[in-house]
Amino acid sequence: MEKVYLGIVLAPLAGAILAGLFGRPIGRSGAHWVTIIGVAISFMLSLVALKHIVIDGAEPFNGPVYTWMVSDGIHFEVGFLIDRLTVLMMTVVTFVSLMVHIYTIGYMRDDPGYQRFFSYIALFTFAMLMLVMSNNFMQLFFGWEAVGLVSYLLIGFWYKKESAIYANLKAFLVNRVGDFGFLLGIAAILMYFNSLDYADVFAAAPFMAGQTIEVIPGVEWSLLTVICLLLFVGAMGKSAQVPLHVWLPDSMEGPTPISALIHAATMVTAGIFMVARMSPLYELSETALSVVLVIGAITAFFMGLLGIVQNDIKRVVAYSTLSQLGYMTVALGVSAYAGAIFHLMTHAFFKALLFLAAGSVIIGMHHDQDIRNMGGLKKYMPITYWTALIGSLALIGFPGFAGFFSKDAIIEAVHASHLPGTGIAYAAVLGGVFITAFYSFRMFFLVFHGKERMDEHTRHHLRESPAVVTVPLIMLAIPSVLIGAVAIGPMLFGEYFAGAIHVLPQHDVLRELGQHYTGPMGFILHGLATPTFALAMLGVFFAWLFYLKQPALADKAKELLRPVYDILDRKYGFDDFNEVVFAGGGRVAGRWLWRIGDAMVIDGVAVNGTARAVGWFAGVLRHVQSGYLYHYAFVMILGLLVLVTWTWFVLG
Amino acid sequence: MSELPLLSLVIWTPIIGGLVVLAVGDREPWGARSIALVFSLLTLALSVPLYAEFDTSTAAMQFVELSPWISTFNINYHLGVDGISMPLILLTAFTTVLVVIAGWEVIQYKTAQYMAAFLVLEGLMIGVFAALDAVLFYVFWEAMLIPMFLIIGIWGGPRRVYATIKFFLYTFLGSVLMLVALIYLYYRTGSFGVLDFHLTPLGLTEQILIFIAFLLAFGVKVPMWPVHTWLPDAHVEAPTGGSVILAAIMLKIGGYGFLRFSLPITPDASNELDWLMIMLSLIAIVYIALVALVQEDMKKLIAYSSIAHMGFVTLGFFIVFAIIAKSDSMQGAAMGIQGGMVQMISHGFVSGALFLCVGVLYDRLHSRQISDYGGVANTMPKFAAFMVLFAFANTGLPGTSGFVGEFMVILSSFKANFWYAFLAATMLILGAAYTLWMVKRVVFGDVRNAGVATLTDINRREFLVLGALAVPVLLFGIWPAPLVEVMEASVQNLLEHVAVSKL
């Protein structure tokens, strides 16, 4: 199987290299063929691995590929850990990636950077696979930063666009803030565990439970709490949790296929995956779990609110992604790791679907992304319409759709948890349900229903997108409907993750829920009776009322809630704050250190002072070198006297 | 093969080559260039066996040559390399070849002298790394400054006189004190053998004085804050080749000096003053990175970036004592030193490449101001790809060599103190900020002005040079084992030596 695993990562890499370095000779179709074949191989082999591990029940694979380096007796390896968690991620990543590759043929058809684009997304697939398949922290960090790099390259893919190259710099820097914490967490692990191998670290973790670390002298903190929080800072960057979420909405400057692949389905869930992978560590620190829970709850609720005031179709979906990532984080916080991964999977399908549907709309609208200019697209784009409807229903958790199972499970899990902070979190995730339904259907109605508000020219050209676009939509719509009902049993309440995810009995809310679980049908019936369903329906109803039935109401509400609207419109001021305090502050500090520290003090006083002193001394010396022999003789005698005296007294 | 005096060959081949080039003169510039290329390639070829036949299992000096030179004072022509110096010699030989190719058509004024200066410089720098006799070391050390002065002074920019004088003042101050220290050590040991210095016991006061003398010499070279201000000026005025050699090799001589002299000769003083070294290193990382952020001149920006990156080198070297003190074992200490060394090699490739990138742009538009560019990717896509690659290597992206050293140093400094690692790791953010902000303003965006619109992409010669640097940057990022392996025995030996008090 080792060869299969190698093939899974190397096939997309080979595609990326071929398309990237030989883009011109192989041409446009050559570029999409090599990368699509590469990713398709990767997907097929992932299915083989899935079958091998899950159906055949093979033991997880944990082994090195090669030794990166040996320093100080520590082996830094590049290696794979393939267990049930990994194969699931691999399958999801390669499937969504394959769909996005195919879709790109249509979306980027006229772009001059066609080959480059395919090279990047194949490279991304490679990096993401390296991340999820890693068996150690070093490679995890490798993949972590590599996906960040490709994200940077892709957000700034249209490098002529000022907003795009601003957004990609911002994305990379904010992610680096996360990576900063992440790297310190890894350093802490190496120091105390003396290994970066997952297996070694997880095995030793229970013995570290009492260990403390003095970050601030005199204050003892639990080592595992510190490690978990540092690692979580990394997750906050990558998975865009407040306050490191600011880069994700701006990342929408990139082409839509990558918004679907990277900024919705895969890369942004890396943080979620990481925490789930580290469950043996997080389980040992309730403090860390509480922090995770609260951060997730804040993100889920407040980022959802922002989705309501957005008018750019992609930004609505982006804020929705932020909010859903918050849900996953909340699940992690209550130790429902399996719930988080389950939601990660369903979300990957329906959110990729929503993004690609949005992209299809954008193609139809000639790259106008403002939903206020749309309306009534249903009759022009039926496939996009129906698939978008499926995606939206899955997103709001309509009973029976994939998102319903995963989101309801999370809400129930929060309800069942006893961790500090669950009260707020439960309120946040419930409120989030209403908000999600409201902004999702606000967008849906504004885009597909109601008056046709686009200009005549655009309307004249409106038509359904080509098959390379619609087929991936349909392919993604299928799991958006089915995967929840199929997977909920084994993944949440079965033994699917046994061995891969570790939960302490006292935290195991999913086991508690599982006692009442009778099957998908029972789950749906139970769901219909919960406030969740009512809230979702209420959200859809209000969206219908405000944006379809009585559009004047929306404006009235906006006027009535002006102060709230303004806060939302300014995105709570995070961007302004960062721009002034961090970006501005950094530049001011730099200028100050440069002008005062370097130029005035060091150069002005010390260096030029020395130069002047040397000059002055030389001037004095010039007088000494008078050329008169008796001057020299005098100095010689003087010197001799000093030497004799010194020898006399010192050496005795 | 090993019967050949390989080290002498790699030292003297380029020096003789330089004299030959001078003799041929630049009536026929093509001839001078070709001869220079042949000699630099020959030197590189001669240096390959140093790696290929290197015995990684021993910390002892290899390829040793020893013959009396001035026997009255027990001065010897003593050469040898270990895992610390050998990679630096290869880096020197490799970089010089690239500098010769990079200067090919670019240098029209006194071509022969230009090429000769670099060849002679190469031999002298290799001499510094290979010398095991203090006098020999000192001769190479001082002599190497002469071609560098000439390079900046003759082929430099408008403020070259100021830059050379500043450079001279700084280095002179350090060198003189180092000479005093070396002579003192001679009186103590009766020998100029560097390895004898390692073994001689010294009192703490003596050690501290010697340490400070060395610190001034090596600290200026590295350069460490606050004796760094010569570097940005020297870089800005130096021709591209001069900047490349300065950044890639000359700075490393300072780092090398700490490993070969300061740590083993004065271990107790190093232990006593490690707080100072750590503090200066951390200031270099944070302070200088902030200064780099606001630079408007690309060369200055990269120069400041170099200083910040060299902060990792000195941090890695001097973190060892804090680790040993805290954990009572040497576990983790070797990684700091190795990390510093890897950082030196990697920085040689990366900063050299970045200076070459700036050179490519400067040759076309005769400006180094960031504001004169913008949207270079539109007209120079191949160049843009290289520039982005090296920029990311500069930000320490995993998969490039820039990651390895920083990673190792941060990991090991955590063992000493959380806050050391914390401050060092700010490089992750600040390094990315200044490097990528520059990339954004230079490479990306729409074509900004008529100048950028006329740019032509890199030619085959430039492609060759940048490509040759991209290979090791990626190779050592993906697989640093071969580099770390050759250092292992020497670093362990150094550590064992350093851990024993000389008092």
Residues of B numbered 86-125 whose beta carbons fall under 8 angstroms of chain A's beta carbons: which are they?
Answer: none
Provide the shortest C-alpha distance from residue B53 to chain A (in Å): 20
Q: Strand, coil or helix: what is B236?
A: helix
Cα distance between residue A350 and residue B107, in whole Å: 60
pLDDT in tens, A102-160: 999 999 988 999 999 999 999 999 999 999 999 999 999 999 999 999 999 999 999 99
Q: Tell me whether A522 touches chain B (CB under 8 Å).
A: no
Q: Tell me whether B367 touches chain A (CB under 8 Å).
A: no
Q: Is the pLDDT of residue A467 over 80?
A: yes
Could A594 and B291 be called an inter-chain contact, meaning their C-beta atoms sit closer than 8 Å?
Answer: yes
pLDDT in tens, B386-435: 999 999 999 999 999 999 999 999 999 999 999 999 999 999 999 999 99
Choose from A13, A17, A191 for mutation: most chain B CBs within 10 A. A191
Helices (H) and strands (E) in chain B, counts: 25, 2
- Chain A nearest-CA residue for B487: A71
- Residue B279 is inside which H or E element, if any? helix B274-293
The radius of gyration of chain B from alpha carbons, rounded to an integer in Å, stands at 22
Average pLDDT in the A181-196 region? 94
Residue in A409, A400, A411 with CA at minimum distance from that of residue A483: A400
**In this structure, what are the phi and psi dihedrals at residue A501, rounded to the nearest 5 degrees?**
-120, 135
Q: Is the pLDDT of residue A87 over 50?
A: yes
In the numeric block, which tokens belong to residue A262? Answer: 């990277």
Furthest-apart CA pair in chain A: how many Å?
A: 116
Q: Peptide bond preceding A243: is omega within 30 degrees of 0, i.e. cis? A: yes
Average pLDDT in the A535-553 region? 91
- Other Cβ atoms closer than 10 A to A229: 20
In the numeric block, which tokens belong to residue A639? Answer: 């010197």
Residues 6+ apart with CB under 8 A from B68: B75, B76, B77
Residues 6+ apart with CB under 8 A from A400: A481, A484, A485, A524
Could A70 and B488 be called an inter-chain contact, meaning their C-beta atoms sit closer than 8 Å?
Answer: yes
Q: Tell me whether B77 touches chain A (CB under 8 Å).
A: no
Choose from B162, B229, B324, B383 for mutation: most chain A CBs within 10 A. B229
Could A160 and B375 be called an inter-chain contact, meaning their C-beta atoms sit closer than 8 Å?
Answer: yes
Name every chain A residue with its beta carbon within 8 A of the beta carbon of B426.
Answer: 180
The half-sphere exposure of B273 on its side-chain side, counting CA atoms within 13 A, is: 20
Q: Peptide bond preceding A520: is omega within 30 degrees of 0, i.e. cis? A: no
Residues of A numbered 290-309 whose beta carbons fall under 8 angstroms of chain B's beta carbons: which are they?
Answer: none
Name every chain B residue with its beta carbon within 8 A of the beta carbon of A230.
Answer: none
Cβ pairs A/B, distance under 8 A: 144
Cα distance between residue A485 and residue A498, in whole Å: 20
pLDDT in tens, A44-67: 999 999 999 988 988 899 999 999
Closest in A162, A594, A598 to B445, CB measured: A162
pTM of the model: 0.92
- Residue B68 is inside which H or E element, if any? strand B62-70
Per DSSP, A466 falls in state: P
In the numeric block, which tokens belong to residue B183? Answer: 């002579």
pLDDT band at A72 (very low <50, low <70, confident <90, very high): confident
Could A71 and B426 be called an inter-chain contact, meaning their C-beta atoms sit closer than 8 Å?
Answer: no
pLDDT in tens, A215-232: 888 888 999 999 999 999
Q: Tell me whether B453 touches chain A (CB under 8 Å).
A: no
Burial class of B66 by CB neighbour count within 10 A (0 to 12, 13 to 18, 19+) = middle
Residue in A237, A338, A343 with CA at minimum distance from that of residue A295: A237
Q: Strand, coil or helix: what is A64?
A: strand
Q: What is the pLDDT of residue A290?
A: 94
Single-letter amino acid, residue A29? S
Low-confidence spans in chain B with pLDDT less than 50? 1
Provide the shortest C-alpha distance from residue B268 to chain A (in Å): 23
Cα distance between residue A105 and residue A35, in whole Å: 11
Choose from A21, A72, A78, A138 for mutation: most chain B CBs within 10 A. A72
The radius of gyration of chain A from alpha carbons, rounded to an integer in Å, stands at 30
Q: What percent of chain B has pLDDT over 90?
A: 71
pLDDT band at A414 (very low <50, low <70, confident <90, very high): very high
Name every chain B residue with its beta carbon within 8 A of the beta carbon of A610.
Answer: 169, 173
Q: Tell me whether A150 touches chain B (CB under 8 Å).
A: no
Cα distance between residue A438 and residue A323, in whole Å: 13
CA distances from A211 to A185, A186, B300 (A): 15, 16, 46
Q: What is the pLDDT of residue B1?
A: 43
Could B404 and A194 be called an inter-chain contact, meaning their C-beta atoms sit closer than 8 Å?
Answer: no
Q: What is the pLDDT of residue B372?
A: 93
Per DSSP, A222 falls in state: E
Burial class of A634 by CB neighbour count within 10 A (0 to 12, 13 to 18, 19+) = exposed
Q: Tell me whether B331 touches chain A (CB under 8 Å).
A: yes
Name every chain B residue with its beta carbon within 8 A of the beta carbon of A177.
Answer: 429
Could B425 and A194 be called an inter-chain contact, meaning their C-beta atoms sit closer than 8 Å?
Answer: no
Q: Peptide bond preceding B147: is omega within 30 degrees of 0, i.e. cis? A: no
Three-state SS sequence of A485-540: HHHHHHHHHCCCCECCECCCHHHCHHHHHHCCCCCHHHHHHHHHCCHHHHHHHHHH
Could B411 and A165 be called an inter-chain contact, meaning their C-beta atoms sit closer than 8 Å?
Answer: no
The average confidence (pLDDT) of chain A is 90
Q: What is the pLDDT of residue B432?
A: 95
Choose from B290, B335, B380, B404 for mutation: most chain A CBs within 10 A. B290
Residues of B numbered 390-449 whose beta carbons fall under 8 angstroms of chain A's beta carbons: which are they?
Answer: 392, 397-399, 403-404, 407-408, 410-415, 418, 421-422, 425-426, 428-430, 432-433, 436-437, 440, 443-446
Cα distance between residue A134 and residue A272, in whole Å: 15
Residue corresponding to tokens 């709001």: A396
Residues 6+ apart with CB under 8 A from B38: B17
Q: Tell me whether A165 touches chain B (CB under 8 Å).
A: yes
Closest in B165, B230, B481 to A69, CB measured: B481
Q: Is the pLDDT of residue A438 over 50?
A: yes
- Residue B492 is inside which H or E element, if any? helix B481-499
**In this structure, what are the phi and psi dihedrals at residue B266, rounded to the nearest 5 degrees?**
-125, 65
Cα distance between residue B293 and residue B288, in whole Å: 9
Contact B14, B40 (CB under 8 A): yes
CA A360, distance to chain mean position in Å, is 24
pLDDT band at A499 (very low <50, low <70, confident <90, very high): confident
Contact B177, B217 (CB under 8 A): yes
Cα distance between residue B143 and residue B145, in whole Å: 5
CA B470, distance to chain mean position in Å, is 18
